[in-house]
Amino acid sequence: MNFKIYYKMSILIKNIQLNNQIKDILIEGQHIKKIDDTISLQADKIIDGRHKAAVPGLTNGHTHAAMTLMRGYADDMPLMPWLEEKIWPLEQKLTEDDVYWGAKLACLEMIKTGTTNMVDMYHFFAGTARAVDEMGIRAMLTYAGFDFELHTKAETYKKEVKQYFESMHQYSDRIHFAMGPHAIYTVSKKLLMWIKDFAADNGLKIHTHLSETPGEVKDSIKKTGLRPVEYLESIGLLNSNISLAHCIYLNDTEIKMLADNGCQVVHNPASNLKLSSGNNFRYKDLKNAGVTVALGTDGTCSGNNLDMYETMKLASLNGKAAWNNPTIWNAEETFKTACEPAQELTGFKTGKIEETYLADISLIDLNLPEMTPNFNLISNLVYSANGNCVDTLICDGKILMENRHVPGEEEILKQATRVAFDLIKR
């Protein structure tokens, strides 16, 4: 079923809490047109914002959307056995239709939990792109690259990347294409260099996994004589258009390299904790060096859900515990980390509720036990709430969820369940 909305509309949100004040917000088309104490203009849709708060839609900085089909399939394993024995063999059986329904389920989950923007890396690019296009969120989508030092795989990947890139005209401008080399241990130097050049020639961003485990660092040194960040820097891959997921095992030299090159780092606390990849993410050092840090859920096979509100809490609490410092990852900066890096990370002007920004807005239900009392909205959102506090979600100036209901959600749940069990049977 296709739920794409084909026209632009105006929305007026009345009497909404915004930055601890009561405001009206006018949306026209894709953008926030006006914010004022009172706006007396006509609009196609008027929303009563009483007992609600407006916050930016969140950005999931790293995920593998269609892995919703594998939620709970392979739990409680170390990273490499989990990948090599469970995930990669199952992914060999995937079809584009599987990925389409898995991605639709992921979009539904993100809509229900206040995420309007994601960075995705997966197989069958067209399946994910079609799902995102229909569901109405925005995304920077990458086609996962693997060649395992095999020439034939590299050539096939290059051909498919070119085809997918050339097909982007058929999708909404809510979708950006980016390059997605999986990791330095699955992608050859030769293919990484091609990816770098293709991205530069076409003005594309790059997204990859890096320094997720001690073993990855050890293997990189053994193979190249360099640590992972040093290796990427040596081949010219570090610049302001690359974002790196995980980056748990960094030394001071690598952090400086990331800062000097304007790279972005995406922290994924749920999967790092669950896979025991490491809990010592150097947020404070990265921040002090000037590196942009974003947050992600990773795929639901390793983090199990796509709730960015839960991700914020995990990031903050784990960071405090890991570094024995209750003042780092405070509520305000943790919330900003989940929304404000959006433009740098994905190229979309979103992450703030300000005039001229894209209209990606969550309306938070304040009449909930976990939101009461409302001494500090951001504290409640980071430490107390989960994504179920989102009552209404607007993305690109369109209402995707109102009163907790997403059009077509029942059909998505039914079809995704069918596809998931069929995949496992294969």
User: Cα–Cα distances in Å, from 350 out to 17, 18, 46, 258?
Assistant: 19, 16, 22, 24
419 part of a folded domain: no
Tokens 């069918």 sit on residue: 418
Q: What is the predicted pLDDT for the residue at 1?
A: 38
Asked if 322 and 186 sit in the same domain, the reply is: yes
Q: Give the mean pLDDT of the chain.
A: 95
Q: What is the predicted pLDDT for the residue at 77?
A: 83
Which residue(s) pair with 244 in the sheet? Answer: 208, 265
What span, in angstroms and rounded, lies between the C-alpha atoms of 320 and 194? Answer: 40
Q: What is the tens place of the pLDDT at every residue in 86-117?
A: 888 888 999 999 999 999 999 999 999 999 99
pLDDT value at 3 more than 50: no
Q: Is 259 within 8 Å of 289 (Cβ atoms)?
A: yes
19 part of a folded domain: yes
Asked if 76 and 223 sit in the same domain, the reply is: yes
Q: What is the predicted pLDDT for the residue at 82?
A: 84
Q: What is the tens place of the pLDDT at every residue in 340-360?
A: 999 999 999 999 999 999 999
Asked if 275 and 396 sit in the same domain, the reply is: no
Mean pLDDT to the nearest integer, 165-189: 97
- Domain tally for the chain? 2
DSSP state of 33: E
Q: What is the predicted pLDDT for the residue at 76?
A: 84
What span, in angstroms and rounded, lies between the C-alpha atoms of 6 and 25? Answer: 23
Mean pLDDT to the nearest integer, 172-180: 98
Return the higher-pLDDT residue of 73 and 52. Answer: 52
Find the CATH number of the domain harbouring 299.
3.20.20.140
Find the CATH number of the domain harbouring 16.
2.30.40.10
Asked if 308 and 375 sit in the same domain, the reply is: no
Mean pLDDT to the nearest integer, 55-73: 95
Q: What is the tens place of the pLDDT at every residue in 293-350?
A: 999 999 998 889 999 999 999 999 999 999 999 999 999 999 999 999 999 999 999 9
Asked if 128 and 275 sit in the same domain, the reply is: yes
Domain boundary among 319, 346, 373: 346
418 part of a folded domain: no
pTM for the model: 0.95
Asked if 130 and 246 sit in the same domain, the reply is: yes
203 part of a folded domain: yes
Asked if 159 and 94 sit in the same domain, the reply is: yes
136 part of a folded domain: yes
Q: What is the predicted pLDDT for the residue at 64?
A: 97
Q: What is the predicted pLDDT for the residue at 4?
A: 44
416 part of a folded domain: no
Asked if 140 and 261 sit in the same domain, the reply is: yes
Is cis: bond before 89, omega within 30 of 0? no
Asked if 378 and 264 sit in the same domain, the reply is: no
Tokens 């703030």 sit on residue: 352
126 part of a folded domain: yes
Tokens 């706006």 sit on residue: 39
2 part of a folded domain: no
Asked if 300 and 169 sit in the same domain, the reply is: yes
pLDDT value at 7 more than 70: no
Q: What is the predicted pLDDT for the residue at 302?
A: 87
Asked if 149 and 204 sit in the same domain, the reply is: yes
Q: pLDDT band for position 401 (50/70/90)? A: very high
Asked if 33 and 130 sit in the same domain, the reply is: no
pLDDT value at 5 more than 50: no
pLDDT value at 85 more than 50: yes
Q: Which domain holds residue 162?
A: 58-346
When mean pLDDT is compared across 219-223, 277-281, 385-389, the lowest value belongs to 277-281
